[in-house]
Structure 1
Amino acid sequence: MTAATAPPAGVVPPAPGPTRLRGDIEGLRAIAVLMVLAYHVGLPGSGGGFAGVDVFFVISGYLITSQLVREARRDGRISLPRFYARRARRLLPAASLVLVVTTLAGWLLLPRGRHADLGTEVLAATGYVVNWLLAWREVDYLAEDQNPSLVQHYWSLSVEEQFYVVWPLLIIAVLWLVRRHRLRLLPLLTLTLTVVVLASFSWSVLRTAASPGEAYFATTTRVWQLGVGALLVLLTARLERLPQAARTVLAAAGVAGIVLTLVTVDAATPWPGAAAALPTLATAAVIAAGLHPGGSPVGRLLGVAPLRVVGGLSYGLYLWHWPLLQLLAERVPEAGLAVRVGVALLAVLLSWLTLHLVENPLRYSPALTRSPRPALLAGAAAMATSAALAGALVASAPSLEEPDAGATQGSVGALALVAPGSRDTQDLELVDDPGAVTGGVERLVPDPAVADEDISLAYRAGCQVSTSGTELPDAQDCTFGDPDGDVEVAVVGDSKMEQWSSALHAIGVQEGWRVRFYTKSACGFVAQGRSPECHDYNRMLSQHLGEAGNAPDLVLTSVGQGYPAELAGSMVDLLQPATDRGARVVLVADTPLPEPRGVAEGVSSFECLDQHREDITPCWSPAAPASGTRLLTEVAGRLDAPLVELLPWVCPAPERLDGCAPVVGGVVVNRQGSHLTATYVRSLTPVLHHELTRLGVTTTPAAQISWELPQDPAPGR
């Protein structure tokens, strides 16, 4: 596809000639990749090293736009096949090689439960959309404690490739307008790009304030940085007339701005937002100062041989360093700085080999440069190879399935803890030997490799509002229990309340409850100390529950980690509109975070089980209080409300057993973080029902409570 062949009106094609090699840009590339490398290795004083990616964005915007505008001015058109063939020869050989090696390394070295995620990530990286996958995970509460992806660094390549898809098309559209209305190319392009840059920058500031994790990876919040580099091309005629003194000051200020970013910014700085303007404009200043053929002393310093060498290796070094460092962190989490530096040097060696054995031979191959077709086919083949391996990894990964009857025969979870003779009494009692039901069985339910996928009923139904959402869940889809029941129950709070949805559904069926879920990720029912979206949502929900047509008979809530007891008054205030309408409040105690003591810090309980199937002893956790329960206890006192405490059935007899068991009755207790698996929650249903009856919340007599394991309703019930 090309634009029109006639030169646009008002454009004088420049004399053909070779493009001047910018040594200062190679030096900037070196600085950018060294910043990123220092940050990921953990060198002291490199807290802002992640901004090296911002430097790369400006450079890429400048270089790509230089090629496109030069072609547009020379030929009056842009050949998309030639453009994408150049991109394929330049980017795909090394990118595909690293993806293939990373996929194989992940298959060999990562826990089985991580294989499906890695395969999905490699597929997204192959298609240059992994940044959107990562942005989605930033607002997906289930992904809060996932380890960084081995291909997470491909997010910036995805942003650039998406820019490379849209920007040539936009230039072609401008060329069409120029031709049709006899306009001048560069002024119209400049106006168009300025609008794009200002819109993207404004959106970046807004989204970074609202959801910084999501904004960090999104293309829409990054386009302005590539656009700033592109604007330099369109303003070249003016910038290259700068006197040498001005060029020197501009370049020096630019380098100083980049260094200032490195040493003053850290991971706590909201990014990219307004703060990213410093490295972006600083990089633009250095490039602008070098537009004049005479350059500047600073530019010549950037172009010294060592920096040019590192700049030439920067692409490969960026690709190789991250998976190597991440695999080191996975396998040797206690590795010191010297070891990490050694791995970084290995990345340098691999980059050099990749450049000379893969990148340059294919980039300049006569067979691939004769026409666009061979290069595009070769690029497609490279992408197909990495995609096929990733697909095979996903296909071979363990998956969460409904176990057959034989597999679940010994998997009764918390039911195994309850002494049978106490079921009809007011107080449940533990079996005499709880240690006998806390060991492993031949097949655990769910499979520990995929226990993090054993999520709750309400979450699977899409009823937990995301961290950035502010709308109430759909009333029809998010009402469980008995749809014709006489008791209206509102379930509010964060995921530590929502995790009980399977049990509450089963109890609701027995008790005649209509159980409506209003839970929101990372958003306990408090009005302080959380995100703006959480505040807005809770205020709206509080008002909703106080309205005559929506007032519930019963409100159930809980909170997880990070809520100090000082917020008790805030929760009481939000509950008041419902309590003023006569609603009764019941609080469900938090569940503790398991920290296996026989494995490296950061290894989850279910990952430990997957790694120690023969002997689960290393996966036991010290008994520790659940941090959210202090707040709930305070609220219970202020409202004279019952507090349901199920800790004895989640971590049974910790003094006698020397800690908390990761498996009870053949069921894996925990999934992500301190959340319980849905299977274990279902096994706790009779226990929770019995406790609610003891506290006078439910009306079913203890002798009539069902001790059968409940099943969740089918999707689309």
Structure 2
Amino acid sequence: MTAPFPSAAILDTAQAHGRARNAGIDCLRGMAILLVIVHHLALPFRLPLGPSLLGEWWPRRLLDAIGFNGYEAVYVFFVISGFLIARSIIERDGDLGRADLRRFYAARARRILPLLALVLACLAALGWMGVPGFAPESADQSVGGLLGSALSFTFNLYEGRTGWAPAGWDVLWSLSIEEVFYLGFPLLCLWLPRRVLAGLLLAWALALLPLRALVPVTDEVWWEKAYLPGMAAIAWGVLAAMLAQRWRPARGTARAMALLGACCLLAALGWSDLVHRHLFKSSLYVLCIGACLLLSAFHAHPPAARRGLGWLARIGRLSYELYLSHMFVVLGAVALYRAVLGETQAWTFAVYLPVLCVCVLLARGLQSLTESP
């Protein structure tokens, strides 16, 4: 099982409107993308630190929370994406019902396409060269098919039909969910009265688990990557943005919301088995509600940049670049480790920090190269 983005591509409203960045939201994005990267390192190493020389000093629950929540982190990205996109329309056009279609789609294209085109060119080149992790292993897949489905945002349908994509390509599934949602979302904003739109989004958000239940668990690829459940998480974020337009909690209330939101995320990421067992299999609901509470609190009263957390906020600002590019570094690091040390897991703990640093450096370079003015 692989995890993906984020949110993959979130429009940065603070940058778009020339305002100060929201450190709280950036840190939330930073936490989510770190969980994704570590998850993709943990999969080939079987555990993030467990079999290594340091593993015996770490509680198993902590190891699992750090190493195997990449999929859940993508759902946090979905919520963040819905919140920021809806807020950008409200702040730019005054209301969701007055969304400027031309400006909206142009902004999405400027944010998504330059980096996506560069990453796809690299993926295609490595795939055609037969590099493991990038070249199709199934006879049902081809580099052309992977490329076409990624460009048309039908990657999930292609994977559901042909099986798991190569690891280097697989992160593209969440981007397909986001962009299909945003192709139709502004049209719904213009066509539907506000109350009808809110009702539709609420029904969609609450149907997250029933929508997942419609897919047989035996169909593992589609069960993880079906469009409608991912869009339901985006709907949670949009609803939070719509509520933020009408209600600004007092500072004390916002602090309580942030604390409750953090507890929800901690429960969903660290004790998902207990939430699943005792709260009606609702861990994804708890995750989405926690993210909404944090986003609403941070938006109402943006927290001051905390000493010691600046690095996490900076990583959050690079979340899209990190999400699309990190597998190049991860797969290279895993291959290098195995070439030097073989299958021993004793020193895997030493890989994580260097890989994260190289991922950030690559993301910064890509941001400078592809970011629109």
Give the C-alpha shift of residue 172 in structure 1.
1.4
Cα distance in 1 for partners of 2:307, 2:153 equals 31
The 1:18–1:130 alpha-carbon spacing in structure 2 relative to 1, beyond 3 Å, is same
Cα distance in 2 for partners of 1:248, 1:150 equals 40
Give the conservation status (yes or no) of the 8 Å contact 1:135–1:216. no
The equivalent residue for 1:591 is none
Cα distance in 2 for partners of 1:92, 1:357 equals 13
Verify: 1:173 aligned to 2:191, yes or no: yes
Give the C-alpha shift of residue 134 in structure 1.
2.1
**Mapping 1:246-645, distance limit 5 Å:** 246-265=253-272, 274-292=282-300, 294-295=301-302, 301=306, 304-326=309-331, 329=334, 334=342, 337=348, 338-339=350-351, 341-359=353-371, 363-364=372-373
Cα distance in 2 for partners of 1:161, 1:312 equals 20
Give the C-alpha shift of residue 330 in structure 1.
6.3
Cα distance in 1 for partners of 2:324, 2:290 equals 24
The structure where helix makes up a greater share of residues is: 2
Give the conservation status (yes or no) of the 8 Å contact 2:96–2:190. no
1:23-43 deviations in Å (ceiling 9; x for gaps): 211111101101111111122
SS in 2 for 1:207: coil
Cα distance in 2 for partners of 1:152, 1:331 equals 21
Give the conservation status (yes or no) of the 8 Å contact 1:27–1:303. no
Cα distance in 2 for partners of 1:98, 1:331 equals 22
Cα distance in 2 for partners of 1:161, 1:152 equals 16
What number of residue pairs does the alignment pair up? 320
Where relative contact order (Cα < 8 A, 6+ residues apart) is larger, the structure is: 2
Cα distance in 2 for partners of 1:243, 1:322 equals 42
The structure where strand makes up a greater share of residues is: 1
Where structure 1 has 5 or more consecutive residues not aligned to the other structure, the ranges are 1-16, 138-142, 179-184, 365-717
Q: 2:170 aligns with which of 135, 144, 152?
A: 152
Verify: 1:220 aligned to 2:232, yes or no: no
Identity across aligned pairs (percent)? Answer: 27
Residue 52 of structure 1 aligns with an amino acid whose one-letter code is: A
Where structure 2 has 5 or more consecutive residues not aligned to the other structure, the ranges are 1-16, 43-47, 50-62
The equivalent residue for 2:58 is none
Give the C-alpha shift of residue 106 in structure 1.
2.6
Cα distance in 1 for partners of 2:325, 2:217 equals 32
Larger radius of gyration: 1
Moved more, 193-202 or 207-216: 207-216
Give the conservation status (yes or no) of the 8 Å contact 1:27–1:302. no
Verify: 1:120 aligned to 2:145, yes or no: yes
Cα distance in 2 for partners of 1:96, 1:157 equals 13
Residue 345 of structure 1 aligns with an amino acid whose one-letter code is: C
The 1:106–1:331 alpha-carbon spacing in structure 2 relative to 1, beyond 3 Å, is farther
The 1:102–1:302 alpha-carbon spacing in structure 2 relative to 1, beyond 3 Å, is farther
Cα distance in 2 for partners of 1:26, 1:61 equals 15
Q: 1:56 aligns with which of 77, 83, 86?
A: 77
Verify: 1:25 aligned to 2:25, yes or no: yes
Give the conservation status (yes or no) of the 8 Å contact 1:131–1:155. yes
SS in 2 for 1:152: coil
Verify: 1:94 aligned to 2:115, yes or no: yes
Give the C-alpha shift of residue 305 in structure 1.
2.4
Cα distance in 2 for partners of 1:125, 1:172 equals 28
Residue 170 of structure 1 aligns with an amino acid whose one-letter code is: L
SS in 2 for 1:351: helix
The 1:211–1:278 alpha-carbon spacing in structure 2 relative to 1, beyond 3 Å, is farther
TM-score (norm 1): 0.41
Give the C-alpha shift of residue 151 in structure 1.
0.9
The equivalent residue for 1:37 is 37
1:402-421 deviations in Å (ceiling 9; x for gaps): xxxxxxxxxxxxxxxxxxxx
Give the conservation status (yes or no) of the 8 Å contact 2:261–2:293. yes
Cα distance in 2 for partners of 1:330, 1:263 equals 30
Residue 58 of structure 1 aligns with an amino acid whose one-letter code is: V
Cα distance in 1 for partners of 2:104, 2:239 equals 19
Give the C-alpha shift of residue 56 in structure 1.
0.6
The 1:327–1:109 alpha-carbon spacing in structure 2 relative to 1, beyond 3 Å, is farther
Cα distance in 2 for partners of 1:253, 1:89 equals 36
Q: 1:85 aligns with which of 98, 101, 106?
A: 106
Cα distance in 2 for partners of 1:48, 1:75 equals 33
Give the conservation status (yes or no) of the 8 Å contact 2:96–2:189. no
Residue 76 of structure 2 aligns with an amino acid whose one-letter code is: V
SS in 2 for 1:352: helix
Moved more, 214-223 or 199-208: 199-208
Verify: 1:245 aligned to 2:248, yes or no: no
The 1:206–1:283 alpha-carbon spacing in structure 2 relative to 1, beyond 3 Å, is same
1:691-714 deviations in Å (ceiling 9; x for gaps): xxxxxxxxxxxxxxxxxxxxxxxx
Measured on the aligned residues, the alpha-carbon RMSD in Å equals 3.1
Give the C-alpha shift of residue 87 in structure 1.
0.8
Cα distance in 2 for partners of 1:320, 1:202 equals 33
